[in-house]
Each structure stands twice: as structure tokens, then as C-alpha cells.
Amino acid sequence: MIEQATQIALDAGKILIAKLKTGITIQHKGSIDLVTDADRASEEYIVEQLRAAFPNHGILGEEGARVEGSSDFLWVIDPIDGTTNFAHGFPYFSVSLGLLKGDEVVLGVVYNPMTEECFVAQRGSGAFLNGERIAVSTQATLQESLLTTGFPYDIATTTEDNMESFAHATKVTQGVRCLGSAALDLCHVAAGRLEGFWERSLQPWDIAAGSLIVAEAGGQVTGCKGQTFRAMGHEICATNGLIHDELMRLLTN
């Protein structure tokens, strides 16, 4: 399954690159929540390929794909994680495919077509970037760490805007980036380029694949209060494991 899923992600990435070259149309799902014709084209292709390869599997996609399956397997897909970046031509977006068996993520693929970096993981088999095994960093304190986070689409009106946590973390680390693709942020934690990522107000397709890639790279994944991570939930805190308790204290104080 991992080879087929990887190929589907790579081919969906080609659709995105082609759309960037020919031009895209943009619509608004919310005041700052965008969707493009490339999102829909990518999701349509992914769903078509998954249904052909795995006819008994369910599918849940960001842009409305809902396929009931007759097995315990559910694909959670994001045709473009980082649509706002994509719409602006900022080269930080990805195709994300996660496979759940029951409540457990068993396979994840995240592909950045701009850098041609493809991150994959299968439960119990490690995490890989373009075929090479990856591992989380060995930085042991927040002071030595570079983190990343994100903010909700309703940041202008919600009280859960993440600004307080962002400010606290910025003061005690080497920096906190806001890059705009949760799936890629998680992969960079897995590859040891970042020490940690947290975000609230997410969707399962943002985090399912990346959560497994971090775990298989030796990292630690929980909710933002230290609770057990749920792939079908709406928040995540993923780190190299060494800074996890320290980051938890910061996020919960």
C-alpha cells in the first residue's frame, strides 16, 4: 500500500505544479480560508486512484470527498495542505495521505512537489525521506530548539488564538516559525530540522499522516495538554521527545 500511496501523492503533486504554471482560480470558504481549482483537481484524482486500488477502503477528504468503506481502513487526505501558500505562489505546501485502521494511523505520505521531498512512514517500519531513513533531533532543551506553530482561520474572533503560547515560546526558544502547512511542519520535526510543532484548531487531514511520520522517526506525539493523540481530533503537539515535557508545561501554564 505504501508504494501505491506514494505514487498517488507524487502524481497529485504533478497536478499542482501544472496548475501553478497554467493559472488557478481561487474561492473563499471563509474570510481567510481559501480553496482553489487545484485543490479540487488534486482531490478528485487522489480519490479516483484510491477507489481503484482499494475499493473496500473509506475516504475522507478536505474538499468534500466522503466514501464509505466496507473495511476498517480509512484514507484521510489533504489534496493541498497549505492552500494559502499555494495560492500566493509561496513554495511551502504538500499533498498528504494518511491511512487509519480503526483509530490508529498505519501509513502516512507527505509530498512537497516544489522541493520534491517525499516523506513516508508505515507503522513499525520507521520514517523515510526520499528513501533515506530520518530521525528526530537530539536537542534537549527549549532554549536550544526551533519550533513551529500555526493559527486558526477564525483568529480575528476566537479567544483560542494561540497568541499567548506563541509569545511565551518565542521568548524561551531559538524561534517559532509559522510556515502554513501542518503536514510539512510535522515532517520537518521528523527529519530533525525542527524540534517541535504544536497547533490547535486543525482537522484530521492536516495531521494524520504527519503524526505517524514523527512517531516513526522517534518523536513524541500528544495533544496540546499532554493527552493521548487522536488522529481524528483537532490538535497536536509533536516533538523530538526530549523537549516534550518542557513544551507541555509552557503550553498548559
If you average pLDDT over residues 191-198, what whole number do you get? 98
- Note the pLDDT of residue 18: 93
Domain with CATH 3.40.190.80 in the chain: 142-252
Contacts 24+ apart (CB under 8 A), 68-76: 72/101, 72/102, 73/99, 73/100, 73/101, 74/99, 74/100, 74/101, 75/50, 75/99, 75/100, 76/100, 76/204, 76/205, 76/208, 76/209, 76/231, 76/232
Radius of gyration for the chain, computed over Cα atoms and rounded to the nearest angstrom: 17
Q: Residue 27 — very low, low, confident or very high, per pLDDT cuts 50/70/90?
A: confident
C-alpha cell at 24: 488557478
Q: What is the pTM of this model?
A: 0.94
- Note the pLDDT of residue 28: 74
Q: Answer with the residue of higher pLDDT: 161 or 176.
A: 176
What mean pLDDT, rounded, does the chain reach? 93
CATH number corresponding to 142-252: 3.40.190.80
The closest alpha carbon to 94, from 28, 26, 187, 29, belongs to 187
Q: Answer with the residue of higher pLDDT: 121 or 201.
A: 121
Judge whether residue 179 has pLDDT over 90. yes
If you average pLDDT over residues 62-74, what whole number do you get? 87
Domain with CATH 3.30.540.10 in the chain: 2-133
Assigned fold of 2-133: Fructose-1,6-Bisphosphatase; Chain A, domain 1 (3.30.540)
If you average pLDDT over residues 10-37, what whole number do you get? 82
Judge whether residue 30 has pLDDT over 80. no
71: which residues sit within 8 A by CB, 6+ positions away?
Answer: 56, 57, 58
Is 172 exposed, middle or buried, given 0-12, 13-18 or 19+ CB atoms closer than 10 A? middle
- Note the pLDDT of residue 26: 79
pLDDT tens digits, residue range 73-117? 999 999 999 999 998 999 999 999 999 999 999 999 999 999 999
If you average pLDDT over residues 205-215, what whole number do you get? 97
Q: Residue 24 — very low, low, confident or very high, per pLDDT cuts 50/70/90?
A: confident
Helices (H), 82-221: 83-88, 163-172, 182-190, 204-216
Judge whether residue 1 has pLDDT over 80. yes
Indicate the SS3 state at residue 188: helix
